Amino acid sequence: MNTDQKTYDITVIGAGPVGLFAAYYAGFRDLNCKIIDCLPQIGGQLTTLYPQKFVYDVAGFPKILATDLALNLHKQAQQYNPKICLEEKVQQIFYLEDRAIKLTTDKAEHFSKKVILTAGAGVFTPRKLEPESAKKFENRGLYYMVKDTEFFRGKKLLVIGGGDTALDWALHLKDMAKGIYLIHRSNKFLAAASSVRQLMNSNIEVHTHTELKEILGNDHIQGAIIVDKSVNQEKTLDVDTILCCIGYTPNLGPIKEWGLELAGSTIKVNPRMETNLSGVYAAGDVATYEGKLRLICTGFSDAAVAVNYAAHSIYPELRVFPGYSTNVMEQKEEEKLAHKT
């Protein structure tokens, strides 16, 4: 198991918009920060569920593409170099004697003084395929997520699904793969109309009304049998790799077992964004309080509140009120200059 021995001031769980803003804010308050997410990319719902949609209600942006909002938030946080750990699912929490907190993930252990939960709706777990043969090939030719697009270069690929994720990946991988098919069990696509148009005009062989029946092969995939349900006709495709994107189900998962006070699958917080667990704050979609609205803008506000109180709690000499960034940053610049001369 990997262990990063450094004890960070704050560990943020979830790199959605709210987690990214919390990481920025921690830096602004001179705290060092680590951010952990189980997905292979940052952005949470913005990049997982609606990367190509425009968001219109983020203050200061008349209109911004969800992907760009995620990138901007990343850039803003990056000014303070937070440590970002991706593809790590946070599992357990332990309180150590020196009042530090240890978090365990499926890969490593992490230490920090405070934890901010910005886990949104939880871990997006991909929905799995039903055929028995699917289990055998999971992660051995059959994948539910893309970690590295290069991996698919030269592969004979079958993409399954009719939503934005399936279409976005199929369109992205179509020129890298040696051959590419897409099957969808309906003839109506959930994906954006523009992507469907692009798909239909591409080199991707598309089969609608079609489901996967069986995966062929022993220790690696040697083909896939598909069935066209409208005419009940089977066909064998010559593929060696399958990418299945038939949706996600969100689940708070192991965090539910921490002893947090929950309301459904959200976490109750007080006006300082503190949960009932010492040193653990929550913000964004996962946090709930009287009158809570689950929006990006309220999530940003939650994050600022959580970090400011956490800052004061770690370093009592730091005031809760951060001052105005306009002044604070100016002072910091001056201090830097004075330091140099």
Partner 1 sequence: MVDELMPKVTFLPVNKTVEAEEGQSLLDVAMDNDIRLEHNCGGNCACSTCHVIVKDGMEKLSRKTEEEQDELEEAEGLAPTSRLGCQSKIYGDIIVEIPPYRSSLLNEDVTKIEALIKEKEKALNLSRSNPASQPSQTEGKTE
Binding site for ligand FAD (CB under 6 A): 13-19, 36-39, 44-46, 49-50, 55, 57, 89-90, 118-124, 253, 255, 284-286, 294-297, 299
The region of 63-71, 184-192, 297-305, 320-328 touching partner 1 under the rule CB under 8 A is: 184-192
266 binds partner 1 (CB under 8 A): yes
Q: Which of 181, 248, 258, 309 binds partner 1 (CB under 8 A)?
A: 248
123 binds, among ligand FAD, partner 1, none (CB under 5 to 8 A by kind): ligand FAD
CA–CA dist 158, 6 (Å, integer): 43
Q: Of 4, 7, 32, 50, which one interacts with partner 1 (CB under 8 A)?
A: 50
* Minimum distance, C-beta of residue 116 to ligand FAD, in the bound complex (Å): 11
Nearer to ligand FAD, 15 or 305 (CB): 15
Q: Is 250 in the site for partner 1 (CB under 8 A)?
A: yes
Q: Name the binder of 129 from ligand FAD, partner 1, none, CB < 5-8 A by kind.
A: none
| Region from 157-165, 214-222, 300-308, 322-330 binding partner 1, contact rule CB under 8 A | 157-165
Q: Which is nearer to ligand FAD, 16 or 141 (CB)?
A: 16
Contact status: 294 vs partner 1 (CB under 8 A): yes
> Residue 93 carries which side chain, given as an amino acid letter?
I
Whose Cβ is closer to ligand FAD: residue 46's or residue 267's? 46
Inter-residue contact 75 to 86 (CB < 8 Å)? no
Binding positions for partner 1, 185-214, rule CB under 8 A = 185-188, 190-191
List the structure tokens of 192: 């954006």
Interface with partner 1: number of residues (CB under 8 A): 25
Smallest separation, CB 38 to partner 1 (Å): 15
CA distances from 341 to 204, 328, 337, 338 (A): 62, 20, 6, 5
Task: Please identify which residue in the block is written with the tokens 């066909």.
Answer: 235
Q: Cβ of residue 15: shortest distance to partner 1, in angstroms?
A: 16
Q: Which of 49/221 has CB closer to ligand FAD? A: 49
Shortest Cβ distance from residue 163 to partner 1 (Å)? 4
Interactions with partner 1, residue window 67-86 (CB under 8 A): none
Between CA 43 and CA 40 the distance in angstroms is 10
- State the minimum distance, in angstroms, from the CB of residue 216 to ligand FAD: 33
CA–CA distance, 318 with 73 (Å, rounded to integer): 25
Q: Interface with partner 1 by CB under 8 A: which range of 42-50, 134-142, 151-159, 274-282?
A: 42-50
Which residues bind to partner 1, rule: CB under 8 A? Answer: 45, 49-50, 121-122, 124, 163-165, 185-188, 190-191, 247-252, 264-266, 294
